[in-house]
Structure formats: structure tokens, C-alpha cells
Amino acid sequence: MDEMDRSLGTPFHTVEADASEVLAGLGVPLIVAANDPPWTRLAGRLRGAADVASTVPAWDMEVDHLRRVADGVADALDHDRLHRAVVVGVGGGTALDTAKFLAWTLGRPLVQVPSITSVDAGFTDAIGVRDCGRVRYIGTVRPEQVVIDLALVRSAPAHLNRAGIGDVLSCHTGLYDWELASSRGRGHPWDAPLAALGTALLDELDAAAADIGAVTDDGIRFLVDAYRRVGAACAAAGHSRFEEGSEHFFAYAYEHRTGAHPVHGEIIAFAVCAMAHLQGNDPQRPFDIVRRAGTRAHPHDLGISHDDFAATVRALAAYARAEALDVSFVDDRAISDEQIEAAWSFVSDLPRMP
Ligand SMILES: [Zn+2]
């Protein structure tokens, strides 16, 4: 491994396989944290071939709830079975994050089976929970393997898979903000290999957009591979500046203001187009990628009103300061009402995907 690889971290071990065969082949008791769908579908394919010792429905990420669940699992299994068990996450973000928490708390190995490509939780080592509603990171865990079951992923609603572009597209605005902040000597210093990864991912996303739109195997493979590389690089760098900037801050501020929670990759795709326009940073590029990938990002399809958009942008610098977020272009320049209207008009031309 050369120096450049080392600075970008070691991606999780990923296998492309039939998840039911992998789980049956483990030959140990399984503690499954799952969303349903897809759990019933996958369990049907197992047909009793795996030793499912415990099934935990994943939905509530409050830490008190998760602790009760972990205690319940530990009480239900006898000592010997618990100490041979593997924790398996099956589904989207809540399932994969619940599985991380259980593996970490119970001290057992982890296997992740992400069923949609709209979340990166299968490829990040941070264990995120909610504490009275606020996201808190309490530790890290690496899965033994991440199983990509293409048929399972394809069975998810297409718009959730197309939302997978969000956390890759965010490199477009994230890199701009990072370069600006680091040139002012603020926050994490510029790191050329990390920045080059962000640039390469954007070029590859551009090339893969049509495959993602059609939810082909190659489209799914690209998103999975992108998340692996992003996850490894963020873990190695200890920050995610190359792929998280004002577009994420807009989403957090909007969700805080309205209490709404659009699909993460969809609001990020919207916000990249809007923030790129406000940055004066080639907004047509993310716009065209969103259009070719068929990602739902039109404000009306996400329930984002003109007034909430304008108010969120106007308050963004104050919100970022209050939440101690990284420096971005909103800290560097005032945004006029004319610029906000121009950005709104630009994103209103995104294709409708009701
Ligand atoms: Zn994100």
C-alpha cells in the first residue's frame, strides 16, 4: 500500500453475493437488526438454513431504546450462544446503525447487508445514535464484511437507489467550501489526495449517471464502491470536508426549521444544485447529473416551499455558527435576496419526479 492509499484509509471488505447464502454459511447464531422490507423477503429465502437467534426490528435510534434492546437480546440468549453469535444488519440506515450499536455493545462481530444504495451507514465506522433527538457518535466498529446482494438492492423502490447520488454529488459543493475555508486558514487544512478522491468520484458519478437512473447492476456497483471509498477516507482523515459542506448544512438547517425529514440523498441532491448556484460554482454540472440519474430533487417533490428555502438560506450562517459547523461560503460573503431568488428559480427547473 503506498502513501496515497494509506491517507485514504482501508475500505471495508465487501462481497457481492446472495445474502441468504452468506448468512446460512456463517453457521453461527445470528442476531439480526432489520428493516422490513426487506427482512421478510430475505428470511423467506433462508428457509430455516440459518440459525436466527434474535430478530430486532430497527426504527428507533434513541440510545435508551437501543440499550434496552441490547439487554433484551443478551438475556434471551444463553451464554454459549451469545458468545458465538454474529450481529447482522439488514436494510437501510436504521438497521445498519442498530446493528453497529448491538455489535459494539455485545462485543460481537458484525456483517452488514445494505438493501438500498441511498445511505452510507454500511460503510462508515461511526456508531450514530440519538440522545433526546440529537445525533451523537458514541464509538466506532468495522464490519467483518459488507454483503451486496444486487437482487435485494434492486427490489427496493427505484427512487431510494437513485437518491444514492446525494452523498457523492455533495463533493461538488463540499470541495468548494473546503478549498475556500482552508485558503483562509480555517478548519482542516487542504489535503491533495482527499481532494483528488472527491474530484475523481464526481467524474465517475458523471459517467455512471445513466446506469444509476436505470438502477442497473453497474449503477449499484458504482454507488457501493463510492461509499466504500468515501467511508474509508473519512475514517482515515477524521473529517468529511471533501464531501460535506454547505449543502449538508442547508439540509440540517432546513430540517431543524421545519421538522421535515426528506430522503437524505434527495434533499442533498437538491441542496447541491442550490448551493452551487449561490457559490457561483458551475451549478449546471450537478443539475445535469441529477437529471440524468433521475434523482428526485425538485423542491416541490420534496415538499420544500419557496419561503422555507429563502428563510433557511438567510439564516444559514447564523445556524452554522450556532451549531459550530465547519466554515463554508456562507461565512465568507453575504447572500442577497436576488441571489436567493435566482437560486430558487434555477432549482425550480429540475425535472419533476413525483
Ligand atoms: Zn450525507
Please tell me whether residues 44 and 115 are part of one structural domain. yes
Answer whether residue 263 is part of any domain. yes
Given a cut of 50, whether residue 262 has pLDDT beyond it is yes
Given a cut of 60, whether residue 344 has pLDDT beyond it is yes
Answer whether residue 352 is part of any domain. no
Give me ligand 1 centre to Cα 338, in Å. 28
Give me ligand 1 centre to Cα 354, in Å. 22
Please tell me whether residues 319 and 246 are part of one structural domain. yes
Q: Cβ contacts of residue 275 below 8 Å, gap of 6+?
A: 173, 245, 246, 247, 250, 329
Give me ligand 1 centre to Cα 72, in Å. 32
Specify the range with the lowest mean pLDDT, choosing from 71-85, 117-131, 239-253, 335-349.
117-131
Give me ligand 1 centre to Cα 71, in Å. 31
Please tell me whether residues 141 and 166 are part of one structural domain. no
In this structure, how many other beta carbons lie within 10 angstroms of the beta carbon of residue 312? 24
Strand partners of residue 89: 33, 112
Please tell me whether residues 165 and 72 are part of one structural domain. no
Cα(25)–Cα(287) distance, integer angstroms: 44
pLDDT in tens, 176-235: 999 999 999 999 999 999 999 999 999 999 999 999 999 999 999 999 999 999 989 988
pLDDT in tens, 288-331: 999 999 999 999 999 999 999 999 999 999 999 999 999 999 99
Q: What is the CATH number of the domain that holds 110?
A: 3.40.50.1970
Range of 262's domain? 158-347
Q: Which three cell numbers stand for residue 101?
A: 450499536
pLDDT in the model for residue 354: 76
Given a cut of 70, whether residue 5 has pLDDT beyond it is no
Q: Which of 105, 128, 154 delimits the end of a domain?
A: 154
Please tell me whether residues 141 and 41 are part of one structural domain. yes
Phi, psi of 335, rounded to the nearest 5 degrees:
-110, 120
Q: Model-level pTM?
A: 0.90
Give me ligand 1 centre to Cα 170, in Å. 8
Give me ligand 1 centre to Cα 167, in Å. 5
pLDDT in the model for residue 3: 41
Give me ligand 1 centre to Cα 244, in Å. 7
Give me ligand 1 centre to Cα 268, in Å. 7
Mean pLDDT, the chain, whole residue set: 94
- CA distances (Å), 5 to each of 15, 40, 98, 114, 205, in order? 20, 39, 30, 25, 21
Answer whether residue 37 is part of any domain. yes
Give me ligand 1 centre to Cα 267, in Å. 9
Answer whether residue 354 is part of any domain. no
pLDDT in tens, 221-244: 999 999 999 989 988 998 999 999
By DSSP bridging, strand 126-131 and strand 52-57 are: unpaired
Give me ligand 1 centre to Cα 126, in Å. 13
Q: What is the CATH number of the domain that holds 303?
A: 1.20.1090.10
Q: What is the 3-state secondary structure (H, E, C) of 142-210?
A: CCCEEEECHHHHHCCCHHHHHHHHHHHHHHHHHHHHHHHHHHCCCCCCCCHHHHHHHHHHHHHHHHHHH
Q: Is 283 helix (H, G, I), strand (E, B) or coil?
A: coil
Please tell me whether residues 124 and 174 are part of one structural domain. no
Residue 287 — pLDDT band, cuts 50, 70, 90?
very high
Give me ligand 1 centre to Cα 169, in Å. 10
